[in-house]
Structure 1
Amino acid sequence: MAIDNQTTKVVTGKVRLSYCNIFVPQANDQGVDKYGTAILIPKSDKDTLRKIKAAVDAAVELGKSKWGGKIPANLKKPLRDGDEERPDDEAYAGHYFLNASSNNKPGIAKPTGKDANGKTKFAEITDSTEVYSGCFAKVSLNFYPYDAKGNRGVAAGLNNIVKVQDGDFLGGRSSVNDDFAGEDFDDIVDISDDDDFLS
């Protein structure tokens, strides 16, 4: 089988986003600005895990030419076990996870219904508060081999994200609604048109 971008590409099932920096890039360990997110995959989602394993295997085959024709003994692979590596983080319990990044801003959207032909329609999400660490999405990934300063392995490139469901914020952040649910705002004055408010 010929290996191309389609054999190393995966569209996940419903996954959860963590450490989500997809609207504004952040510097990685090498000081390079990248967009990225961790992706938590339920261990019960055998179909997504099978697709990722196949795509990683295809990327390994592609990498042999970078790695002197053979697979390195210490090859790093992107998929990790949340129960083993993050035992104190309940969000990672029962999940595998991987980190996906990109030099370019990923496409970020939500489904809005079906068109006349029954195909899903999407609307771009531009509000950075709408997609966050803790929400659920389907994610398009591309796996590729790398060889950087003696580190050899397969990494996950981040293509596109479609938000499918809200979830509890990860990282301790709460929503405005949660923080102020018990507060009384009956005597609040509308300040939106008050030119003197900040002067």
Structure 2
Amino acid sequence: MKIVTGKVRFSYANVWEPQSVNGSEPKYSVSLIIPKNDKKTLEKVNNAIEAAEKEGVSRFGSKFTSGSNFRRPLRDGDLDKPDDPAYKNSYFINVNSKIKPGIVDKNVEPILDQTEFYSGCYGRASISSFPYSINGAKGITFGLNNLQKLEDGEPLGGISRPEDDFEAIDNDFDDILG
């Protein structure tokens, strides 16, 4: 089931080049931080999870959703990342794809400058839920389709953007250097 989120914050944004995690196949990925008061997005996410659970039962059998190894994608930031202020009062979903997501701005124009989309900015995501059952692991996950940046935010991960560190200068470097 495909959904489009409301405004979320992007974290761990590996959307320009696929990354390998612990030797796995490289994928594009991002963590979507959803404010707990965004009831509309949370309802969409929970409906998509429920639809994927029904599909999982249909595909993998009646015991698909049972057992301690069954994984659900929506996680509580206050419980799972209590030391990270970016996740306070939020839920989050980690989404990924083998295919590069489309990335657009608020006017639906493609973003080509990789510094424009980063961990900490805000936007919407098009994601799709689906069930999985692989080597004893089973659950629901979300695939990443496309991303839309709506606004800038404080960069996460301690990396600043050049435009935040520097100001424009004229040709007289002496004023700055000394």
Of residues 99, 106, 127 in structure 2, which corresponds to 1:104? 99
Matches within 5 A, 1:19-168: 19-70=12-63, 71-74=65-68, 75-112=70-107, 122-168=108-154
- Aligned-pair distance for 1:161? 0.5
SS in 1 for 2:94: strand
State the percentage of identical aligned residues. Answer: 44
Is 1:187 matched with 2:154? no
Kindly state the Cα deviation for residue 146 of structure 1 after the two structures are TM-superposed: 0.5
Shift of 1:67: 2.8
For the 8 Å contact 1:72–1:152, the answer to whether it is kept is no
Deviation at 1:30, TM superposition (A): 5.0
Give the whole-Å Cα distance in 2 for the aligned partners of 1:82 and 1:165: 22
Indicate if the aligned counterparts of 2:97 and 2:143 stay in contact, CA closer than 8 A: yes
In 2, distance between residues paired with 1:90 and 1:82? 9
Please say if residues 76 and 92 of structure 2, whose CA atoms lie closer than 8 Å, have aligned partners that are also in contact: yes
TM-score using structure 1 length: 0.81
> In the alignment, which residue of structure 2 is the partner of 1:4?
none
For structure 1, list consecutive stretches of 5 or more residues without a partner in the other structure.
1-7, 113-121, 189-199
How far off is 1:16 after superposition? 0.3
More helix, by proportion: 2
Deviation of the 1:177 alpha carbon: 3.0
The one-letter amino acid paired with 1:55 is: A
Cα-to-partner distance string for 1:38-82 (whole Å, 9 max, x where unaligned) = 000000100000110010000000011343333222320000000
Asked if the contact 1:110/1:163 (under 8 Å) is kept, the reply is: yes
Residue ranges of structure 2 left out of the alignment (5+ in a row): 174-178
Tell whether the 8 Å contact from 2:119 to 2:156 is kept in structure 1 after alignment.
yes
Which residue does the alignment assign to 1:15?
Answer: 8
Q: What CA distance in whole angstroms lies between the structure 2 residues aligned with 1:184 and 1:11?
A: 42
Contact 1:147 1:153 in 2 (8 A): yes
